Amino acid sequence: MTESAPSPVPRVAVVLLAGGQGARTGFDLPKQLAMLGGKPVLRWSLDAFAAHPAISGGVLVANTDVMAAAGQLPDGWISADPGAERQQSVAHALAALADWPEDTRVLVHDAARPGVTAEVIDRLLAALDDAEAAIPTLPVPDTLVEQVAGSAGEVVDRSTLARVQTPQAFRLGTLRRAHAEAVEAAATDDAQLVRRLGVTVAAVPGDARLHKLTYAEDMAILAGLLGIGTMRTAVGMGYDVHRLVTDKPLWIGGIEIAHSHGLEGHSDADVGLHALTDAILGALGDGDIGDHFPPSDPQWRGAASHRFLGFAAERVAARGGRIDHVDLTIIAEAPKIGPHRAAIRARIAEILAIPLERVSVKATTTERLGFTGRREGISAQAVATLQLPEN
């Protein structure tokens, strides 16, 4: 008698919602991009899902600015545009998963909850073996009262209440049907829509680390829950100079500028990026550009300097730190830097993967004094401000 082959294990996809602005935090940027332990809040969830062996891929629902700041998506992940409301964002993600089969298991998660754990994911997926939907919940520890005109009213029985978290787990076919039938119905989470179908939603134990970032003070709570240590400020300074020569392209701040002369050097001689690289390495106490990319090494001959600056940024991330601000001053009699300042700022922000407002680019002359005044060379100085975890 021939044994039948085991049924294939359903695939698991993630819908990660990162389309909101989080105005209640009072941050200058969307809350999912706030730095927590050296990386954006959004990245905590991305990394946790990417590390789970059961997950095949996912959809990041975010606008282009958030996508750019989030960094590279894990393998198997795609993106979708957010909607005006959460429910529309999930619908957009479901459209992006149109080719995935009905028996796919899908986890819908809010990026504002960075404390995703493998244990919660495992509990949710196990619950889907017998249920069509499952949510993580926590008990309500506090006494609850009704509030009437600013005064405490009757006590509410908390024994039948629970706090609902994400990720929430569904069989993909069930979630599709719930959204298809909720044309006019609004809900604050997907489990509500599924319950309206008459489907029972299983509850599994949640995790306090799934605390939601809603207000500015939640950042300190999350840092404590996730075991993130305190940060210290580190400042580094960089300086570089290169001679102007004929028959070479001129690279400054990561862009090529049309000019009669270029800068002479072993690499592309970009004084701006070299100064910034040294400033970041200085703040790290990690030597200078020559220690990591010695001119004696032929592999760096003619190298694009964005590689050096990108390397310095990676060293910051590897230490669990973040780049708070960089300030670059270019000292040149010619060419005029003003017309290129916006492009240089944008390129530096791109290389460092930080918001544009954290990059300052200025230019000055030496009033025709010295080697820069005589147009013999161009120099640059830079300051980098980092946040690094206390050891």
Tens digit of pLDDT for each residue in 166-211? Answer: 999 999 999 999 999 987 777 889 999 999 999 999 999 999 999 9
Whether residues 217 and 236 fall in one domain? no
pTM: 0.60
Q: Does residue 96 sit within a domain?
A: yes
Q: Does residue 195 sit within a domain?
A: yes
Structural element, H or E, at residue 239: strand 231-245
Whether residues 305 and 348 fall in one domain? yes
The position carrying tokens 């009033």 is: 367
**Residue pLDDT, tens place only, 111-133:** 999 999 999 999 999 999 999 99
Nearest C-alpha neighbor of 322 from the set 43, 122, 22, 11: 43
Q: Does residue 3 sit within a domain?
A: no
CA distance 197 to 199: 5
* Mean of the per-residue pLDDT values of the chain: 91
pLDDT, position 38: 76
Whether residues 266 and 219 fall in one domain? no
Question: Could you say which of 169, 204, 225 is where a domain stops?
Answer: 225
Amino acid making up residue 307: R
pLDDT band at 6 (very low <50, low <70, confident <90, very high): low
Mean pLDDT of 56-60: 95
Mean pLDDT of 266-276: 93
Query: What does the angle CA 295 – CA 299 – CA 304 come to, to the nearest 5 degrees?
Result: 80
312 is in which domain, residue-wise?
A: 231-389
Amino acid making up residue 96: A
Whether residues 284 and 206 fall in one domain? no
Query: What does the angle CA 31 – CA 32 – CA 36 come to, to the nearest 5 degrees?
Result: 90
Q: Decide: helix, strand or coil at residue 244.
A: strand
**Bridge partners of residue 205, in order along the sequence:** 137
Mean pLDDT of 219-238: 86
Question: Could you say which of 164, 190, 225 is where a domain stops?
Answer: 225
Whether residues 243 and 145 fall in one domain? no
**What's the structural domain count of the chain?**
2
The C-alpha torsion from 92 through 121 and 39 to 351, rounded to 10°, is -50
pLDDT, position 77: 95
The C-alpha torsion from 129 through 130 and 134 to 137, rounded to 10°, is -110
Whether residues 241 and 204 fall in one domain? no
Whether residues 153 and 236 fall in one domain? no
Question: Could you say which of 225, 251, 281 is where a domain stops?
Answer: 225
- Residue 3, pLDDT > 70, answer no
Q: How many CA atoms lie within 13 A of 268 on its CB side?
A: 19
Going along the chain, which residue ranges are E strands? 12-17, 35-36, 39-40, 57-61, 77-80, 105-110, 133-139, 144-148, 151-156, 162-164, 168-171, 202-205, 231-245, 250-252, 255-257, 262-263, 322-331, 359-364, 377-389
Instruction: List the CATH number of the domain containing 375.
Output: 3.30.1330.50
The position carrying tokens 């970041």 is: 280
Whether residues 217 and 301 fall in one domain? no
- Residue 286, pLDDT > 60, answer yes
pLDDT, position 19: 87
CA distance 95 to 103: 16
Q: Does residue 327 sit within a domain?
A: yes
Nearest C-alpha neighbor of 125 from the set 191, 188, 174, 52: 52
Peptide bond into 82 cis (omega under 30): no
Whether residues 52 and 132 fall in one domain? yes
Q: Does residue 44 sit within a domain?
A: yes
Instruction: List the CATH number of the domain containing 44.
Output: 3.90.550.10
Whether residues 297 and 215 fall in one domain? no
Whether residues 295 and 348 fall in one domain? yes
Count of C-beta atoms within a 10 Å radius of residue 242: 23
Count of C-beta atoms within a 10 Å radius of residue 229: 11
Whether residues 62 and 98 fall in one domain? yes
Q: Does residue 179 sit within a domain?
A: yes
Q: 9 or 179: which carries more pLDDT confidence? A: 179
Peptide bond into 335 cis (omega under 30): yes
**Residue pLDDT, tens place only, 98-114:** 999 999 999 999 999 99
Q: Does residue 5 sit within a domain?
A: no
CA distance 286 to 388: 13
pLDDT, position 391: 55
